[in-house]
Structure 1
């Protein structure tokens, strides 16, 4: 699940560092409304666990779902937003610049951006760990757009440089992986 619409989305900012994201840039009013509607009309298997990025926007998203189903939450730093380095705090109009470089190499770190391959490795590690620890359970992972698109690309076995070819993950959207559709 991608977090609900956030204050960073609302302000068109790149907010990817723990220093800015753990205690600030939570959900916007739109995000709160999205999650209320989503929980009220839940159409997916009911999760047995909620694992989430420790950033405020994902923690608030996870809390909405966890409270609705009376579940414990497990924060995991590996589910954090992709770090956008020197672009941190700037306009989100710079995302396409990074994504164009991603399409050339999943290893690039231009502008001190976290490499796509590094994001894929940490996201896959979370999934593999929970698959081992919680077999047969339905895990809801709450993270961010870029890391989730990278994860879905890795799960499909496609080259990581193609992660932007994934359909866009809208705020508060859920993509079911594994199990019955």
Structure 2
């Protein structure tokens, strides 16, 4: 059985300030570094075999907290970056709502391609699920920790489970430094492929 732990990065000033990060390279703040250290202590108890991360610093630095406890090296993968938010990257959500009310409403309603240069959900799912599958193949039958971003994690996990966008939207957002656990039982007799084992697990913050 292969276990995949899809871990969201720690808090940043963009998270705290209500800004859209997308693929901007916002670093962890002090709270985010503390969250990463606390979560890493829990994740280390899973005895991971492989550690893969988005190449954006907030994810890589989160992964580094676990790498320091396990001695694992971090394999960077740019496919694990957050959804690209086009014109909205770095902007306050309140400003986006007032300046782009139509597109904002479409985004909030789950439109897979709301405009303003935002990456479509289908494109996001395609690159992230490919990254998750490749990560899992690095340790068949083992435990793989993948450090990524909130939107990327949800869409990638939904795609790996074979869910349509409407079902994927029912997964609540991951808290900072929380993770989703997926297991692949396809190598067992009568196995059913990837299954959702747990969601939004982590240290309360």
TM-score range, shorter chain: 0.7 to 0.9
1:13 maps to 19
Structure index of larger Rg = 2
Would you say the 8 A contact 1:51–1:140 is kept in 2?
A: yes
TM-score with structure 2 setting the length:
0.75
1:64 equivalenced with 2:70 (yes/no) = no
Paired with 2:105 and 2:29, the residues of 1 have a C-alpha distance of: 26
- Residues 102-151 of structure 1: per-residue CA shift (max 9 Å, x gap): x34x3x25111000000110011112223334312311100000011111
TM-score with structure 1 setting the length:
0.85
1:85 maps to 86
Number of matched residues? 173
Change (3 A) 1:34 1:161: same
Considering fraction of residues, name the structure with more strand.
2
1:3 equivalenced with 2:17 (yes/no) = no
Shift in Å, 1:161: 4.2
Matches within 5 A, 1:101-116: 101=109, 103-104=110-111, 106=112, 108=113, 110-116=115-121
Would you say the 8 A contact 1:46–1:138 is kept in 2?
A: yes
Would you say the 8 A contact 2:86–2:117 is kept in 1?
A: yes
Considering fraction of residues, name the structure with more helix.
1
Matches within 5 A, 1:136-175: 136-175=141-180
Paired with 1:37 and 1:75, the residues of 2 have a C-alpha distance of: 22
Shift in Å, 1:75: 0.6
Shift in Å, 1:88: 1.0
Change (3 A) 1:170 1:44: farther
Q: Give 4+ residue runs of structure 1 displaced > 6 Å after superposition.
A: none
